Amino acid sequence: MTSENYRPAERRPLASRQLSIADRCATWLAARNISPNAISLAGVGFSIVACLCLAGTAWTNGINARALFVLAALFIQARLLANLFDGMVAVQSGKASPRGEIFNEVPDRISDPLIFIGTGFAAGGFPSLGFLCAVLALFVAYLRVFGNSLGATDLFLGPMAKPQRMATLTVACLYSALAPYGWFAGPGSNASTGAATLALSLIVLGTLVTAVRRLGKISAQIQDRA
């Protein structure tokens, strides 16, 4: 099947995709013949760096820990931008293809666990929660794909879909970077858990609700077709 005849699979509804600056950036990337698959892989690279920065905060302190939290927040957002632009560039350049769907999905399944596990090992984090978040993120992604295979659609609902999970971690990173010395979860805090643990806990609870909602929607759509 050629890319000219191919129509991309259901795409996550994102308000940012409608912004003129996003469209201009995608046009700039497409004009330079940058492969959407390369952008997808770059997202994995950003996630690896975010993971290392997060884990590194547990081995540093003071200004170094703050800088690593800021870098982690920036690379988490860079990963999301890669997720945004790979699809936009594919559509604008006419390079959307079935093979591109692999690059669209598989890197996400790598990136999410990396970032969650890194957060678990971050200063103020709890490793078991990081691993649990990674498993739950994979589970809700599986539910979406499984639902699609049964003909269910519009399964990107939250409250803790990928954008919301990454936003929660970004806020936790920035708080940890900016909190005054000695504050709860800030550099110098004596607390064994901090903003990273709180963020992961919220993600676990929200992702469980997300899983239930997606299962409910899949069940309802299948029932309607019965």
Span 95-153, pLDDT tens digits: 777 777 888 889 999 999 999 999 999 998 999 999 999 999 999 999 999 999 998 88
The pLDDT mean for the chain works out to 88
Q: Which CATH fold would you assign to the domain 19-225?
A: Four Helix Bundle (Hemerythrin (Met), subunit A) (1.20.120)
Question: Could you give the CA distance from residue 226 to residue 219 in angstroms, rounded to a whole number?
Answer: 11
20 versus 201: the higher-pLDDT residue is 201
Length of the chain: 226
pLDDT tens for 160-169 read 999 999 999 9
Question: Could you give the CA distance from residue 43 to residue 37 in angstroms, rounded to a whole number?
Answer: 10
pTM summary value: 0.90
What six digits make up the tokens of 27? 């046009």
Q: Please report which confidence band the pLDDT of residue 2 belongs to, taking 50, 70 and 90 as the band edges.
A: very low
Smallest CA-to-CA distance from 130 within 212, 80, 199, 179 is with 199
Phi/psi of residue 6, nearest 5 degrees: -90, 140
